[in-house]
Amino acid sequence: MSTRLARGGRLIDRTKPITVTFNGRRMAGYLGDTLASAVLANDQMMVGRSFKYHRPRGVVASGAEEPNALVGLGTGGRFEPNQRMTTTEAFDGAETASQNHWPSLEFDIGAINNKFGRLLPGGFYYKTFMWPRSFWKHVYEPIIRQSAGLGKVPTDRDADRYEQAYAFADVAVVGAGIAGLTAALGAAKAGKRVIVLEMTPACGGRAVVDGITIDGQGADAWVAAAVEALRGMDNVTLMTRTMATGLYDHGYLMAAERIADHTPGDGRPKQRLWRIRAGEVITATGAIERTLSFAGNDIPGVMLAAAVRDYVVNYGVSIGDRTVIVTNNDDAYRTALALLDAGLRVPAVIDARANVTGALAQAVRDRGVRVLAGHGVAKVHGGKRVTGVAICAQAGEGAMIEEIACDCVAMSGGWSPVVHLWSHCGGKLNWDETSAMFRPDPQRPPLGADGRGMVRAVGSANGMLTADAVLADAHAAFGSGAAPATDAPAEAAMEPVWIMPQGAGPKLRMKMWLDPQNDVKVSDVQLAAREGYESVEHTKRYTTLGMATDQGKMSNINGLAVLSNALHQPIPATGTTTFRPPYTPLNFGAIAGEARGEIFQPLRRTPIHDWHETHGVEWEPVGLWRRPFCYRRPGESTEAAVNREVRNTRQNLGLLDASTLGKILVKGPDAGKFLDMLYTGVMSTLAVGKCRYGLMCNEQGFLSDDGVVVRLSEDSWLCHTTSGGADRIHGWMEDWLQCEWWDWKVHTANLTEQFAQIAVVGPNARKLLEKLGGMDVSKETLPFMAFAEGTLGGFDARVFRISFSGELSYEIAVPASQGRAFWEKLHDAGQEFGLMPYGTECLHILRAEKGFIMIGDETDGTVIPQDLNMAWAISKKKADYLGKRGQERSYLASADRWKLVGLETLDGSVLPDGVYAVAPGVNANGQRNVQGRVTSTYFSPTLGRGIAMGLVKHGPDRMGEVLDFPGDNGKIHQARIVDQVFFDKEGAKNDA
Amino acid sequence: MPDTVSALNGKTYAGFVDIAEAGLQGMITLRGDLASAALAKAVKAAVGTKVPDQRRIVTAGGKSALWMSPDELLLLVPYVEAPGIAAQLSESLSGEHAMAVNVSDARAMFRIKGAKASQALQKLAPVDFASLGDDEVRRSRIAQVAGALWKSGPQEFTLVSFRSVAGYVMGLLESSARPGSEIA
């Protein structure tokens, strides 16, 4: 059984007991435990089930490479699925639950898949669910969806908060093992600004577990001194609990700091995502131990040798009383020594190498342990727990030589440098034959902005697998003089072992797990190779090898070695799959950072926003603004409110917050010339104090924006844009001025937010302005399309006599800080004239009744002004304007284009928006031919019936024709083509 | 003079640093040839400073000039004086290719005060505060919106955003200055 030893555990604090629960069972642990060490201390070896066969799964590793030990952690708003027990700190009261089983971990229905394992080989999904096609939607997909996914989706809103922060450094060192610390000290002493990132709470990495000495002191003491030295330097920031998850272009390093994961609810942010810009990144990310592929290597109790050592040394936890060690290298002998030191039994070390000569092996022999050279494991006995191993010759086919009873198997297939960060941004790898591993190629690093390498790998991450080599390599990065010295013994060469025993037949290979979470076995990869999968990327997707939540950290190298052997090619010819960020999964909360709730997205408010809010507003999003859609009175429906606003504005007086309209000042000697290029019409000839409506097109000729242009003075114009177009059009202007017409003397300024703009609209508009007083707003002094500046009712006002409604209308701009007061003054003073505020829907109906187009309704990026019968707004005299040549292309100049017309249903109903008018026959795809579509459609309270505009082929030539518009449920709407101006065709009201 | 109200009417928040919307501030955008003698003379007359160097702020007698881009300055003056100074600038630069326009109402201004003021900002703007000069202006991104900031005192930063997003910026600052979220 696995248990807590009476002594030991360098990371736990035995004076601080905690309690965690696993599937409801209370378990005693200590502060400093991980969830994995805490449950292992309580003999909870089995922690989950595999994805496909639902086989029992135990803890295999002690770090980020753990594929099995995933739990749901917490409850309610703090529930998180797929938490890796080996890297999650235990805390008092932590509630955990295992995943992927039903009804319980101990008894699981899905395990029946295990019995049919031969029917579920690699590529099973692809083979089975291909046919018949109709089964996809109704049979296969629901079944797959039900069985897919390991963890449960949280049901509550996340109770925690998250944030992000930016940091800058000359050098970012990833990993605070002895390599990272050595490199960081060197960089810091060289005067660099250094950030050190360590994913665990404690620094030191493997060296402190292995118990080597550095510069004459124990690794523990050396690490403590190094950390203290770094913390004492102003140019160094050392962050623990911080996982560097991804490296991107130009030294952009992403790292997730776990702030309150282990202290939930203490008021601190749960996590902080660091966005670091580093001049150079040093990856001191260590190495990951590989499994060995022998039959039954997935049975709980079979673990990585270094992990077994970690649990004993770091947490005082023994995995079993009797541990058999299986290895192809010297490092695993350290586990034997650690276990012996803790008073545990090591019945034998099974070493696949024929000659075992290393000093570590000798030390183990000297302690009376049998070392079986040239041997392997034929099979592991046990179901939910290891009970023993059958031993065979590694060179043979698996005939049993003897059986050894044990409750733990510690395996080591060698080490793989953690090359993820190196590879994220394009660093290349070399295959190292001696150590059978991919390691960074220093000649082909990821390149920075200057074309030079921006990453250096040091230590084990660079393929240095002994302490002396690690220290020398890391010291060389920045240091001068002698590297720290160590007494670590020399190690004999490892021997690559991809299958154990090497001649194992199909029966054994079917029980050799490569990816224990996704249930990918040696036989599956070999089958894929036989079926013609040669690319490692294809094999990965076909077999799901390395697609589990550990992202192949443990299985990758073994899998591609098996694939290479099956393809009879060397491993480098097969290559690796792509290493993509994040290194370990990132919490969505950390990715979102502060962007949630009220500050999920910027909300743009006009100066009058708060008034609307307290007056029954129904909001409509317009870009990032909110504009009033309408103002509902108590008990009033939206529809009734809109109709009331329309009728009142036509009959009395309406007030509109038009502050969101773009207002761009264009000034300079060449401003007139510039505007003549931007607009289809002529703006340079506009008289000072006058307004003119204009259209803007892109180079292709398509309509982009519209608005009223005002000539403010001899050399300055004010361009009104649509609400959504202000920033885009300002950028468009600057683009042309900076990149194309850089020698034109024009300045622009976006004054959109400088002014609150209010439209006073309706027959009583002039009366209200005259009541306010201060400016002559008479028809004679301020005629239609004129502009005046002055003081209106005490406010600094610019008054534009423009109309988007067909009514007598003034748009008045005042400084934004006076906007609210001005609105209220108008609102109060206008009561005697029947004033009511109105919203955007009323605005739309008013303009549609007048046949005015709306950018975004009548236009969609494929419409030119000519389509909208707006040739009158296009100057024929000008040599050029943006869009002119585009509009001359044959297709845009064609007489067959759909053109704007009014549409009137025969029964007075409202046409559905966006419906198409059908034409006889079908097109090449067998679809019904069409000849037009609806672009705007409303109920007109003024006329008491539906009105619409649409684009129809040869539309203006077909007045009076009736078109069929098929709608939902087979209904056909019939509408007659009419003039697009439905109300006050002669414009009398406008000109009042 | 009618009621004039700044975007958030002086809203404050006390977190691990103090946040305050700074009220109405006169601001003038001045575009033109920053190397020209005429512009230098006009700036001197308007705010009493020289033309600032790239990314710098210069202050004299409560008025400042901030470098915004190779052809643009932002002048800070008392709110009530802004229209007059803008008109004066336009007048004195009438023979030049230049533009002076009052943008006081298009902006919101915030002060972030306290020993850890840079920490509150470090979470929102990709700015290296350790290397930010005492007289340096940084135009940057404040989470999802544009902004400009500079050190306005020993433990104080001033931040300018557009007026319409003042509520959003205040929300950001409240969030990043919440007690307990100090960067260790």
pLDDT in tens, A844-878: 999 999 999 999 999 999 999 999 999 999 999 99
**What is the pLDDT, as a whole number, of residue A930?**
97
- Determine the distance in angstroms separating the CA of A679 from the nearest CA of chain B, rounded to an integer: 22
CATH annotation of B12-23+109-176: 3.30.1360.120
Over residues A783-822, the pLDDT tens digits come to 999 999 999 999 999 999 999 999 999 999 999 999 999 9
The residue of B123, B170, B178 whose CB has the most chain A CBs within 10 angstroms, and thus the best one to mutate to test that interface, is: B123
When CB atoms are compared, the residue of B6, B97, B171 closest to A599 is B171
Cα-Cα-Cα-Cα torsion A422, A426, A432, A436, nearest 10 degrees, comes to 70
Contacts of A805 (CB under 8 A, 6+ apart): A649, A654, A761, A843, A846, A847, A850
**What is the pLDDT, as a whole number, of residue A547?**
83
Tell whether domain B26-105 is in CATH 3.30.70.1520: yes
Beta bridge partners of residue A543, listed in sequence order: none
**Contact flag A166-B163 (C-beta cutoff 8 Å):** no
Cα–Cα dist A895/A24, whole Å: 76
Residues of chain B with CATH 3.30.1360.120: 12-23+109-176
pLDDT exceeds 90 at position B113:
yes
When CB atoms are compared, the residue of A602, A668, A816 closest to B105 is A816
**What is the pLDDT, as a whole number, of residue A902?**
98
Which one has a higher pLDDT value, A126 or B108? B108
- Determine the distance in angstroms separating the CA of A661 from the nearest CA of chain B, rounded to an integer: 13
Q: Which residues of B touch A167 (CB under 8 A)?
A: 122
Q: How far is Cα of residue A468 from the mean position of the Cα atoms in its chain? A: 41
Q: Which residues of A touch B127 (CB under 8 A)?
A: 166
From B9, which residue of chain A is nearest by alpha-carbon distance? A817
Contact indicator for A197, A286 with CB cutoff of 8 Å = no
Closest CA to A627 of A609, A643, A640: A609
pLDDT exceeds 90 at position A544:
no
Beta strands A716-721 and A662-667 are antiparallel
Query: Looking at residues A829-836, what average pLDDT do you find?
Result: 98
In terms of Cβ atoms closer than 10 Å to its own Cβ (0-12, 13-18, 19+), residue A267 is exposed
pLDDT exceeds 60 at position A149:
no
Query: Looking at residues A375-383, what average pLDDT do you find?
Result: 97
When CB atoms are compared, the residue of B71, B105, B176 closest to A817 is B105
User: How confident is residue A110, by pLDDT bands cut at 50, 70 and 90?
Assistant: low
Spell out a b/e string for A505-520, using b for 16 or more CB atoms within 10 Å of the CB, else e: eeebbbbbbbbbbbbb
**What is the pLDDT, as a whole number, of residue B22?**
97
Q: Which residues of B touch A607 (CB under 8 A)?
A: 5, 7, 163
Q: Which residues of A touch B7 (CB under 8 A)?
A: 607
**What is the pLDDT, as a whole number, of residue A51?**
79
**Contact flag A602-B102 (C-beta cutoff 8 Å):** no
Cis peptide before A572 (omega within 30 of 0): no
When CB atoms are compared, the residue of A266, A603, A751 closest to B103 is A751
Contact indicator for A360, A491 with CB cutoff of 8 Å = yes
Over residues A523-534, the pLDDT tens digits come to 999 999 999 998
* Secondary structure string (H, E, C) spanning A616-671: CEEEEEECCEEEEEEECCCCCCHHHHHHHHHHHHHHCEEEEECCCCEEEEEECCCH
Q: Tell me the domains of chain A and their CATH numbers.
A: 3-114 (3.10.20.440), 162-287+417-478 (3.50.50.60), 291-413 (3.50.50.60), 502-569 (1.10.10.1100), 895-992 (2.40.30.110)
Residue owning tokens 């002529």: A682
User: pTM, whole model, 2 decimals?
Assistant: 0.94
From A275, which residue of chain B is nearest by alpha-carbon distance? B126
Contact indicator for A729, A675 with CB cutoff of 8 Å = no
Query: Looking at residues A107-135, what average pLDDT do you find?
Result: 62
State chain A's mean pLDDT as an integer: 94
Q: Which residues of B touch A749 (CB under 8 A)?
A: 29, 31, 99, 101, 103
Q: Angle, nearest 10°, between helix axes A305-315 and A333-341?
A: 30
Cα–Cα dist A703/A700, whole Å: 9
- Determine the distance in angstroms separating the CA of B6 from the nearest CA of chain A, rounded to an integer: 6
Residues A964, A966, A970: CA angle, nearest 5 degrees: 130
pLDDT exceeds 80 at position A133:
no
pLDDT exceeds 80 at position A119:
no
End-to-end CA distance of chain A: 96
Which one has a higher pLDDT value, A103 or A284? A284
- Determine the distance in angstroms separating the CA of A276 from the nearest CA of chain B, rounded to an integer: 9
Cα–Cα dist A721/A47, whole Å: 62
Over residues A444-481, the pLDDT tens digits come to 999 998 999 999 999 999 999 999 999 999 999 998 88
Give the type of residue at B43: V
The residue of A252, A730, A747 whose CB has the most chain B CBs within 10 angstroms, and thus the best one to mutate to test that interface, is: A747
**Contact flag B98-A747 (C-beta cutoff 8 Å):** yes
The residue of A234, A594, A664, A734 whose CB has the most chain B CBs within 10 angstroms, and thus the best one to mutate to test that interface, is: A594
**What is the pLDDT, as a whole number, of residue A99?**
85
DSSP A980: S
**Contact flag B99-A749 (C-beta cutoff 8 Å):** yes
The residue of A753, A792, A820 whose CB has the most chain B CBs within 10 angstroms, and thus the best one to mutate to test that interface, is: A753
**What is the pLDDT, as a whole number, of residue A96?**
96
Q: Which residues of B touch A822 (CB under 8 A)?
A: 2
The residue of B28, B96, B181 whose CB has the most chain A CBs within 10 angstroms, and thus the best one to mutate to test that interface, is: B181
**Count of all residues that appear for chain A in the document:** 992
Residues A890, A894, A899: CA angle, nearest 5 degrees: 140
When CB atoms are compared, the residue of B5, B6, B165 closest to A602 is B165
Over residues A72-83, the pLDDT tens digits come to 999 999 999 999
**Contact flag A755-B105 (C-beta cutoff 8 Å):** yes
**Contact flag A665-B99 (C-beta cutoff 8 Å):** yes
From B123, which residue of chain A is nearest by alpha-carbon distance? A165
Over residues B49-68, the pLDDT tens digits come to 999 999 999 999 999 999 99
When CB atoms are compared, the residue of B97, B101, B167 closest to A751 is B101
Q: What percent of chain A has pLDDT over 90?
A: 88
**Contact flag B130-A168 (C-beta cutoff 8 Å):** yes
**Contact flag A753-B106 (C-beta cutoff 8 Å):** yes
When CB atoms are compared, the residue of A266, A598, A605 closest to B164 is A605
- Determine the distance in angstroms separating the CA of B48 from the nearest CA of chain A, rounded to an integer: 24
Over residues A689-715, the pLDDT tens digits come to 999 999 999 999 999 999 999 999 999
Over residues B125-177, the pLDDT tens digits come to 999 999 999 999 999 999 999 999 999 999 999 999 999 999 999 999 999 99
Q: Which residues of B touch A267 (CB under 8 A)?
A: 179-180
Q: Which residues of A touch B107 (CB under 8 A)?
A: 753
The residue of A276, A754, A820 whose CB has the most chain B CBs within 10 angstroms, and thus the best one to mutate to test that interface, is: A754
**Contact flag B176-A594 (C-beta cutoff 8 Å):** yes
The residue of A161, A166, A195, A241 whose CB has the most chain B CBs within 10 angstroms, and thus the best one to mutate to test that interface, is: A166
Contact indicator for A673, A666 with CB cutoff of 8 Å = no
| SS3 state at A895 | coil
Residue owning tokens 């059978």: A436
From A815, which residue of chain B is nearest by alpha-carbon distance? B105
DSSP code string of B108-136: EEEEEESTTHHHHHHTTS---GGG--TTB
Cα–Cα dist A257/A752, whole Å: 41
- Determine the distance in angstroms separating the CA of A457 from the nearest CA of chain B, rounded to an integer: 26
Contact indicator for A324, A410 with CB cutoff of 8 Å = yes
pLDDT exceeds 90 at position A425:
yes
Residues of chain B with CATH 3.30.70.1520: 26-105
Q: Which residues of A touch B15 (CB under 8 A)?
A: none
Contacts of A637 (CB under 8 A, 6+ apart): none
Contacts of B80 (CB under 8 A, 6+ apart): B26
Q: How far is Cα of residue B15 from the mean position of the Cα atoms in its chain? A: 22
User: How confident is residue A638, by pLDDT bands cut at 50, 70 and 90?
Assistant: very high
| SS3 state at A562 | helix
**What is the pLDDT, as a whole number, of residue A53?**
82
Residue contacts between A and B (CB atoms, under 8 Å): 131
Cα–Cα dist A812/A792, whole Å: 9
Cα–Cα dist A242/A301, whole Å: 30
**Contact flag A161-B131 (C-beta cutoff 8 Å):** no
pLDDT exceeds 80 at position A102:
no
Cα–Cα dist A891/A592, whole Å: 46
When CB atoms are compared, the residue of B123, B127, B145 closest to A602 is B145
Query: Looking at residues A507-515, what average pLDDT do you find?
Result: 93
Cα–Cα dist A373/A394, whole Å: 9
